[in-house]
């Protein structure tokens, strides 16, 4: 057994995969602007490692280079999670951190949270309490378990508290702070790369650009949508039909690109009004989403970003862990049925789609709120030890 006492060392901030970076960047900035917090160390697990999935986003978001990179890479869920834990443990032993901060719902989130809590190091979870209520989704398992072992839980929307309290989490651990992802969006929107530049760079000739003034952005990477051949083939068939209505810009996640090739579906997408792109930078993605007529996606973060941007979003899933984007925002849950997707798309093209409003505390100050709270919480722990 390791030490059961947290140390007085740095706050370790964990990132692993692409959607973590836009949440951690404003938090690191907010932590850095306070003098009443211990020093910060940025730990990268290496879950995502491709330059386009990783380095580009670090640059765009002005994230500092990680202090430690665990370089775990890809693997099955068990292997990846175990390997992160194995490599993170010595870091915790050496640093004796005051606290470990994890964000979101990726394998790195649960792996590092679990290592910390078993060593008596407090865990703060940012984006706590979101629930799709779908346990076949790997992220749902990560969310439920991370929340159970966290000492401080920061939420992005008020409904998250109800989910947590229902699962037995003490209400005084839960703090509604707003959405860090929207802190990043608001900070970087002025520097967004115009969509036309990304479309041109993607290979659309100057003479054809006029046909790309109105377009939809599509992203797909959920295992449930892209790992099964029939499901992916049907979705691609639907996208081909959708592209007869307006051109589609489709940045491909490595998982999706690999499966399209493995299933022999590449030719289905060729010579269509579907522009396949490499994973885009953050500033490119902001530009593309802002200018899109509509976004079709199975991502979690993009449902929130489109709500903040006021762009209609059709979510190609049966459920969402981010219900506020439906109740208040521009999101519509459509599923993956061909007729449903085309019907909703036609609706948007006819009437402009859902308008929505920007939810409470999605105004760019979530990082400040978390930093202020955590500073107070850590100093209370020092003066009045919990145990």
Footprint of ligand UD1 (CB under 6 A):
17-19, 47-50, 53, 74, 105-107, 138-139, 221, 253-255, 258
Percent of residues in the chain assigned helix, strand, coil, to nearest 5: 50, 15, 40
Give me the least distance between CB of 192 and ligand UD1, in Å please. Answer: 20
Least Cα distance to 275 among 217, 229, 231 occurs for 217
User: Which of helix, strand or coil describes residue 266?
Assistant: helix
Give me the least distance between CB of 56 and ligand UD1, in Å please. Answer: 11
Choice between 76 and 350, CB closer to ligand UD1: 76
Choice between 139 and 183, CB closer to ligand UD1: 139
CA atoms within 13 A on the CB side of 95: 24
Choice between 49 and 263, CB closer to ligand UD1: 49
Choice between 112 and 248, CB closer to ligand UD1: 112
Dist. CA 108–CA 113, nearest whole Å: 8
Q: Please, which residues bridge with residue 153 across strands?
A: 125, 174
What contacts 24+ positions apart, CB below 8 Å, involve 191-194?
191/283, 192/283, 192/284, 192/286, 192/287, 192/290, 193/281, 193/283, 193/284, 193/286, 193/287, 194/287, 194/291
Give me the least distance between CB of 218 and ligand UD1, in Å please. Answer: 15
Choice between 283 and 348, CB closer to ligand UD1: 283
Q: With 0-12 CB in 10 A as exposed, 13-18 as middle and 19+ as buried, what is 386?
A: exposed
Dist. CA 4–CA 313, nearest whole Å: 46
Give me the least distance between CB of 34 and ligand UD1, in Å please. Answer: 30
Choice between 107 and 243, CB closer to ligand UD1: 107
Annotate 173-198 with DSSP letters as a single string. Answer: GEEE---HHHHHHHHHGGGPPPHHHH
Dist. CA 130–CA 104, nearest whole Å: 9
Q: Is residue 130 within 8 Å of residue 152, measured between CB atoms?
A: no
Q: Is residue 238 within 8 Å of residue 338, measured between CB atoms?
A: yes
Give me the least distance between CB of 47 and ligand UD1, in Å please. Answer: 5
Q: Where are the beta strands (DSSP E) in 341-384?
A: none
- 152 alpha-carbon distance from chain centroid: 20
Choice between 3 and 74, CB closer to ligand UD1: 74
The catalytic residues are 221
Give me the least distance between CB of 300 and ligand UD1, in Å please. Answer: 6
Dist. CA 70–CA 44, nearest whole Å: 6
């Amino acid at each position: 057994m390791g030490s059961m006492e947290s140390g007085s060392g740095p706050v370790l901030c964990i990132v692993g995969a692409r959607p973590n970076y836009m949440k951690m960047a404003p938090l690191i900035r907010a932590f850095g602007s306070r003098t009443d917090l211990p020093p910060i160390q940025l730990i990268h697990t290496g879950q995502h490692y491709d330059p386009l999935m990783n380095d580009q986003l670090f640059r765009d978001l002005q994230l500092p280079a990680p202090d430690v990179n665990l370089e775990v890479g890809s693997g099955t869920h068990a292997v990846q999670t175990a390997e992160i834990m194995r490599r993170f443990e010595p870091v915790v032993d050496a640093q004796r951190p005051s606290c470990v901060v994890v964000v979101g719902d990726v394998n790195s989130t649960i792996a590092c949270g679990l290592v910390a809590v078993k060593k008596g190091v407090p865990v703060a979870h940012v984006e706590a309490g979101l629930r799709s209520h779908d346990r076949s989704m790997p992220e749902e398992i990560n969310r439920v378990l991370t929340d159970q072992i966290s000492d401080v839980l920061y939420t992005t929307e008020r409904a998250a508290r109800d989910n947590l309290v229902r699962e037995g989490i003490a209400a005084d651990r839960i703090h509604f702070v707003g959405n860090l992802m929207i802190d990043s969006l608001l900070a970087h929107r002025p520097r967004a790369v115009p969509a036309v530049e990304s479309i041109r760079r993607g290979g659309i000739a100057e003479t054809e650009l006029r046909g790309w003034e109105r377009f939809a952005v599509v992203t797909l990477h959920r295992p449930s949508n892209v790992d099964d051949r029939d499901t992916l083939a049907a979705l691609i068939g639907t996208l081909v039909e959708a592209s007869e209505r307006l051109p589609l810009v489709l940045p491909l996640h490595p998982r999706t690109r690999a499966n399209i090739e493995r299933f022999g579906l590449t030719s289905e997408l060729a010579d269509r009004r579907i522009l396949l792109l490499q994973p885009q930078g953050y500033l490119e993605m902001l530009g593309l989403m802002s200018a899109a007529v509509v976004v079709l996606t199975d991502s979690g973060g993009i449902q929130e970003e489109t709500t903040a941007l006021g762009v209609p979003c059709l979510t190609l899933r049966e459920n969402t862990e981010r219900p506020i984007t439906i109740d208040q925002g521009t999101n519509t849950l459509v599923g993956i049925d061909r007729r449903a997707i085309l019907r909703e798309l036609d609706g948007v093209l006819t009437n402009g789609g859902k308008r929505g409003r920007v939810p409470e505390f999605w105004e760019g100050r979530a990082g400040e709120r978390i930093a202020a709270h955590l500073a107070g919480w850590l100093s209370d722990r020092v003066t009045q030890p919990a145990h």
